[in-house]
Amino acid sequence: MKTKEDLNHLLRRIDGKGYKAYKDIQGQYVFGQFRLHIDYVQGDPFASPSRLRLRVENRFPEWAWQNRSREVALRDFLARQFARCIRRFAKGQRGSGKSGAVFIDEPGQEILERTAVVLDGAEVEVRFQVGLPAFGRRIAGQQAAAILLDELPAIAGHSLFPEVLDEEKLREHLLANEDADALRSHLEELGLVAFVANGAMLPRASGIDPRPLEGGLPFHSPGNLEVEIQLPNRKVIGMGIPRGITLITGGGYHGKSTLLRAIELGIYNHIPGDGREFVVTNPQAAKIRAEDGRFVEKVNISPFINNLPQSTDTLRFSTQNASGSTSQAANVMEALEAGAQALLIDEDTSATNFMIRDQRMQQLVPKEREPITPFVDKARQLFEELGVSSIVVVGGSGLYFDIADKVLCMVEYQPQDLTERAREIALAHPQGRQEEGGESFGPLPRRIPIGQSIDAFKGRREKIRAFATRSLQFGASEIDLSAVEQLVDNSQLNAIGDALLYARQYMDGRPLAEVLDRVMADIESGALDVLSRRKEGHHAIFRKLELAAALNRLRSLRVE
Ligand code: ADP
Ligand code: MG
């Protein structure tokens, strides 16, 4: 095994040489309590930076990783601490291109399983990147030595060991994560699709800043919806949203969308201080919205859309350019195909004609000439026949009073339960419209994806790259994920890119849902590392719903 001195010698020897000579430092080095792996050396100072790993003995007490929730939270905590120490100890960019910069995949407001830090039995491994420094294209050996031999040990020494961490903060991080997982797993037995704790802070600092809004009004449940839940480390009280159809209504700017957004992201756990630590949602809840322009491949949208002009087939509806309503219908049907158990819909991002159709319009445009059956006529069937709940934000129409099990009305950011009042109004002012939903919900898609249609080659190399949580370059295609609103982290996109390739092995005549389940089961049993041959430091966990969403938006996708 090579030592710190060996690395120092090597760096001195190649100092001032052409950049390619850096390849010589690839390998493993032991220094003191660290084992440094230089796995991959970049080709030039402007290329994506070199990949390294540091391994140290796991000296954390067993309570910190005794179950999966705590282990994931510990790894998350270490990645955050490592990132903080990079800012503190790394001198940063020096020289050309990415010279001198040290990067780790830093978590945001969510606590996600990610590959930046992994624990395997006796050791902690941190995966990160370094821009090996150069002036022009000449190796800056001294600067490299400063980064690898001084800065890295300082960064790691202040982040990867229990004695250097704030034990109280660490404990809070782990126990909050454990409690959020427990809370989510209780939802089903309590008959709830979501829970929002009293005291939660739902609004964000701004549209581009996901931290909590300072001075916002804390959430408070209406009395009759309050439930109290005992968790491993605390008791929580808050609003339980029961299964069924829930309407969130109220005046404009009174907090409807903010509540729904918090529920959408309740599929993830949040860090202490986020304000949404105990806002949790059914893990298979899917945000649905209109997304005109999207690609659709042979999706059965017939429960919502029939008799399109030019007798376009809606049992196997395909398009390169969906409309608002057909895209929203496809989004619902694809989510159901991938196993969604609840749908979350906001009028702000919905096609009006997908959501409602009133009496006057029924008279002007008879059913025979309107291809769309609005969601208001299908939501009850969805729940009664398929057990799929809906939470719908509608402030602009009372049509949903007739089908809602619960009507929440936001008044100055606080929900009131106005179910009874809405029912009285519905009785006093009947709509006189025809229900258009038919006998039953109708068939679900059951498509069989063709593996050969998933190709990540760009020229002679496979190329997968995520951009700003909005799009994924996949070979020669670009997958637009900007309307897939429950993706929160660019590393989820990276992992999904690799998962699309990984999924091909199961595309041998199986239906899509089964392919997705296989991939998720492999990740569950073998961790995210199953997705990639190399030790990837930029992967974060995702759900099968988002994997399906990416596959469904890959324009080369073909199904049998
Ligand atoms: P709606 O969908 O009802 O029109 P939004 O949810 O978009 O309203 O909220 C309107 C504004 O109020 C947003 O700027 C949001 O950040 C803010 N807001 C929402 N909830 C709260 C709260 N609890 N405290 C303070 N401000 C809030
Ligand atoms: Mg709104």
* Token code pair at residue 82: 């490592």
Contact 217, 412 (CB under 8 A): yes
What mean pLDDT, rounded, does the chain reach? 97
> In this structure, are residues 175 and 233 in contact, taking their beta carbons and an 8 Å threshold?
yes
- The DSSP output letter for 382 is H
Whether residue 153 is found in the same domain as residue 194:
no
Number of neighbouring beta carbons within 10 Å of residue 55: 21
Q: Which atom of ligand 1 is nearest to the CA of 410?
A: 3
**What residues does ligand 1 touch, defined as CB less than 6 Å away?**
202-203, 213, 216-217, 250, 252-258, 410, 413
pLDDT at 262 over 80: yes
- 440: tokens are 């039953």
Q: What share of the chain is helix, strand, coil (3-state, %, to 5)?
A: 35, 25, 40
d(CA 203, CA 47): 39
Q: Give the pLDDT band of residue 94 (cuts 50, 70, 90).
A: confident
Mean pLDDT of 70-99: 95
Look at ligand 1, atom 20, and give the residue with the nearest C-alpha.
255
**Centroid of ligand 2 to alpha carbon of 392 (angstroms):** 11
Contact 253, 312 (CB under 8 A): no
Whether 516 and 545 map to the same domain: the answer is yes
pLDDT value of residue 120: 86
Specify burial of residue 429 (Cβ count, 10 A radius: 0-12, 13-18, 19+): exposed
Distance CA 101, CA 94 (A): 8
Pair (459, 354) in one structural domain = no
For residue 261, give the ligand 1 atom closest to its CA.
6
Q: Give the residue from 414, 440, 466 where a domain finishes.
A: 440
pLDDT above 80 for 357: yes
Asked if residue 471 lies in contact with residue 479, where contact means CB atoms within 8 angstroms, the answer is yes
Instruction: Please report, for the domain that includes residue 282, its CATH number.
Output: 3.40.50.300
**What are the strands, taking DSSP E only, across 109-188?**
110-111, 117-120, 123-130, 134-135, 138-139
Judge if 375 and 257 occupy the same domain: yes
Give the rounded percent of residues in the chain with a pLDDT score beyond 70.
Answer: 100
Q: What is the pLDDT of residue 1?
A: 85
Query: Whose alpha carbon is nearest atom 5 of ligand 1?
Result: 255
Distance between alpha carbon 311 and the CA centroid of its chain, in Å? 37
Q: Are residues 455 and 413 in the same domain?
A: no
Handedness of CA 200, 206, 211, 214 (dihedral sign): negative
Residue 177 within any structural domain of the chain: no
323 is a domain residue: no
Q: Are residues 250 and 127 in the same domain?
A: no
Ligand in closest contact with the CA of 258: 1
Q: Give the ligand 1 atom nearest the CA of 219.
A: 23
Atom of ligand 1 nearest to the CA of 255: 6
Placement of tokens 């600067």 in the chain: 143
Q: What is the pLDDT of residues 487-498, one digit of tens each?
A: 999 999 999 999
Q: Which amino acid residue places its CA nearest to atom 4 of ligand 1?
A: 253
Whether pLDDT at 121 is above 80: no
Q: Are 405 and 384 in contact (CB under 8 A)?
A: no
Which residue has a Cα nearest atom 15 of ligand 1?
203
**The model's pTM:** 0.97
Instruction: Give 343's strand partners.
Output: 286, 390
Residue nearest to atom 19 of ligand 1 (CA): 255
Per-residue pLDDT tens digits for 287-329? 999 999 999 999 999 999 998 888 889 999 999 999 999 999 9
The CA angle 166-167-172, to the nearest 5 degrees, is 105
The H or E element spanning position 2 is strand 2-3
Q: Same domain, yes or no, for 15 and 145?
A: yes
Q: Which of 165, 198, 232 is the last residue of a domain?
A: 165
Which pLDDT band, with edges at 50, 70 and 90, does 385 fall under? very high
What element of type H or E holds 77? helix 68-89
Q: Which ligand is nearest to the CA of 203?
A: 1
| Residues 436, 505 within the same domain | no
> Ligand 2 centroid vs 242 CA: distance in angstroms?
22
Nearest to 549 by CA among 447, 474, 481: 481
Sequence-distant contacts of 377-385: CB under 8 A, at least 24 apart: 377/435, 377/436, 377/437, 378/303, 378/304, 378/437, 378/441, 379/245, 379/403, 380/245, 380/437, 381/437, 381/440, 381/441, 382/343, 382/441, 383/243, 383/244, 383/245, 385/440, 385/441
Ligand 2 center–CA 227 separation, angstroms: 26
Question: Of 11-15, 95-99, 340-344, where does mean pLDDT reach its minimum?
Answer: 95-99
The reply to whether 12 and 156 lie within a common domain is: yes
Distance 217 CA to ligand 1 centre (A): 10
Q: Which atom of ligand 1 is nearest to the CA of 393?
A: 2
pLDDT on residue 396: 94
For residue 72, the number of C-alpha atoms closer than 13 Å in the C-beta half-sphere is 25
CA 263 to ligand 2 center in whole angstroms? 14
Q: Is residue 296 part of a domain?
A: no
Ligand 1 centroid, distance to 457 Cα (angstroms) = 44
Q: What is the 3-state secondary structure (H, E, C) of 345-364?
A: EEHHHCCHHHHCCCHHHHHH
Instruction: For residue 381, tell me if it sits in a domain.
Output: yes
Q: Is 457 in the same domain as 418? A: no
Q: Which two tokens stand for residue 21?
A: 């000579």
User: What spacing in Å lies between the alpha carbon of 395 and ligand 2's midpoint?
Assistant: 8
Contact 286, 343 (CB under 8 A): yes
Please tell me the distance from the alpha carbon of residue 336 to that of residue 221, in angstroms, as a whole number: 30
Average pLDDT over residues 231-246: 98
Q: Among 421, 440, 459, which residue terminates a domain?
A: 440
Average pLDDT over residues 42-49: 94
Q: Is residue 528 over pLDDT 90?
A: yes
Q: List the residue whose alpha carbon is closest to atom 11 of ligand 1.
A: 253
Which backbone phi and psi does 411 adopt, to 5 degrees? -130, 110
C-alpha 398 – ligand 2 centre gap (Å): 16
Same domain? For 276 and 363 the reply is yes
Atom of ligand 1 nearest to the CA of 346: 2
Pocket test of ligand 1: the residue of 239, 258, 289, 412 to mutate, having most ligand atoms within 8 Å of its CB, is 258
Residue nearest to atom 10 of ligand 1 (CA): 253
Give the ligand whose atoms come closest to the C-alpha of residue 252: 1
- Looking at all shown ligands, the one closest to residue 249's CA atom is 1
Question: What percent of the chain has pLDDT above 90?
Answer: 96
273 and 371 fall within a common domain: yes
Tell me how far the alpha carbon of residue 219 lies from the centroid of ligand 1, in angstroms: 12
Best of 217, 345, 349, 413 for a ligand 1 pocket test (most atoms within 8 Å of beta carbon): 413
Ligand whose nearest atom lies closest to the CA of 254: 1
How many angstroms separate the alpha carbon of residue 202 from the centre of ligand 1?
A: 9
Residue nearest to atom 25 of ligand 1 (CA): 216
Q: Please give the distance, rounded to the nearest whole angstrom, from the Cα atom of residue 260 to the centre of ligand 2.
A: 9
Cβ burial of 249 (10 Å; 0-12, 13-18, 19+) is buried
Range of the domain at 93: 2-165
**For residue 221, is it within any domain?**
yes
Q: How far apart, in whole angstroms, are the C-alpha atoms of residue 472 and residue 465? A: 6
The number of the ligand nearest the C-alpha atom of 262 reads: 1
CA–CA distance, 470 with 482 (Å, rounded to integer): 4
172 part of a folded domain: no
Q: What is the pLDDT of residue 526?
A: 87
- Pairing label, strands 406-411, 110-111: unpaired
CA distance 291 to 213: 28
Q: How far is the CA of 76 from the centre of ligand 2 (A)?
A: 32
How confident is the model at residue 116, as a pLDDT? 98
Amino acid identity, position 456 = A
440 close to 384: Cβ distance less than 8 angstroms: no
Which ligand is nearest the CA of 207, by number? 1
Alpha carbon of 346 to ligand 2 centroid (Å): 7
Q: Which helix (H) or strand (E) holds 314?
A: none
User: What is the spatial distance between Cα 30 and Cα 19, in angstroms, rounded to a whole number?
Assistant: 24
Q: pLDDT digits over 427-482, tens only?
A: 999 999 999 999 999 999 999 999 999 999 999 999 999 999 999 999 999 999 99
Number of H helices, E strands in the chain: 14, 30
Q: For residue 520, give both structure tokens.
A: 């998720």
Q: Which of 209, 220, 253 to mutate to test the pocket of ligand 1 (most atoms within 8 A of CB)?
A: 253
Residue 202, domain member (yes or no):
yes
Whether 293 maps to a domain, the answer reads no
Q: What is the per-residue pLDDT for 209?
A: 96
Closest residue by Cα to residue 354 from 345, 342, 364:
345
Number of independent structural domains in the chain: 3
Task: With a cut of 80, say whether residue 172 has pLDDT above it.
Answer: yes
Burial class of 143 by CB neighbour count within 10 A (0 to 12, 13 to 18, 19+):
buried
- CB under 8 Å to 185, separation ≥6 — which residues? none
